[in-house]
Structures are given as C-alpha cells and as structure tokens.
Amino acid sequence: MSRFTEELWPVEYIAKEYKAAIEQRSQKPFCVLLSTGALCPIHRGHVDIMVRAKKAMEKHGYHVLGGWLSPSHDLYVGPKMRAKKELFLDAKHRAECVELAVQDFDWLSVATWESRYPGRWPDFPEVKTT
C-alpha cells in the first residue's frame, strides 16, 4: 500500500506512534529524525543512515517517533548533477523513489516540503515550525 502523499510533512504515522507512547506512559524523550539532500538517486546508504540514527537515539534513551527523508529542490539538484555530467530526476520522481526505498520501514516516510520551495534553503527553525 502506498504511503506517498502530497502532504508536505506526513505526520499521521508519527501521531499514531506518539499516541501509543503516551498511552504506554513512556518516560523517554521523543524525537523525529530528518535527513535532507539531493537523494539522486536514493540508495541503501541513505536509508541505512536513518536506521543507524534511530538505533543510536534509542541507545541513548530516546523514543523515535518516526523519520523523514526529504529530497532537495530541483534548482539545487540540477546544477549539481550537470556539474557531474549526470542526468537527474525531478523532485516529484525523487520523492516517489524515496517512497519505494522506505516502504519496508513503517517509521520512515518522504517529506516534500524542501523540494517544493525552489531557489532557497529553509533554515532549521523555519522547517521546525511548518
């Protein structure tokens, strides 16, 4: 079943995990993981970074509610790939590829916020508040 959504930050699965943790009276601090980049193409290493980050955070006592991989916008990826003399997929297709790469991880999803704001990189506080 596809989890891909046009939602900028799909939060349904994170909200579900949060609710379950609250019902279980979890005393651990909560966190959500985020990794950005060209993701052109997405590969096992990108997913493995998230898996390792989750394990590390859990080892340090955190309850990981979920995670997002967020492809960068085309105005960043295009010049980068042209400089390498490589073709690139547009942001929509890279997001769809991320969805396929994380389909076996119920705690991971694709976020499309960054890829929809071409020409600028959002600063972390801005990302955090949207």
What's the pLDDT tens digit per position in 9-30? 888 889 999 999 999 998 999 9
Dihedral angle sign, alpha carbons of residues 77, 79, 80, 84: positive
* Cis peptide upstream of residue 41 (ω within 30 degrees of 0): yes
51-88 confidence digits (pLDDT tens): 999 999 999 999 999 999 999 989 888 888 999 999 88
Q: Look at the pTM and tell me if it is higher than 0.85.
A: no
Q: Are 62 and 21 in contact (CB under 8 A)?
A: no
Helices (H) and strands (E) in the chain, counts: 5, 3
Per DSSP, what are the bridge partners of residue 69? Answer: 35, 110
Pairwise pLDDT comparison (33 vs 87), residue with the higher score: 33
Residue 127's pLDDT is what? 63
For residues 42 and 97, is the Cβ–Cβ distance under 8 A?
A: yes
Q: Name the helix (H) or strand (E) containing 70.
A: strand 63-71
DSSP state of 75: H
The CA distance from 128 to 91, in Å, is 21
Residue 118 pLDDT grade (very low, low, confident, very high; cuts 50, 70, 90)? low
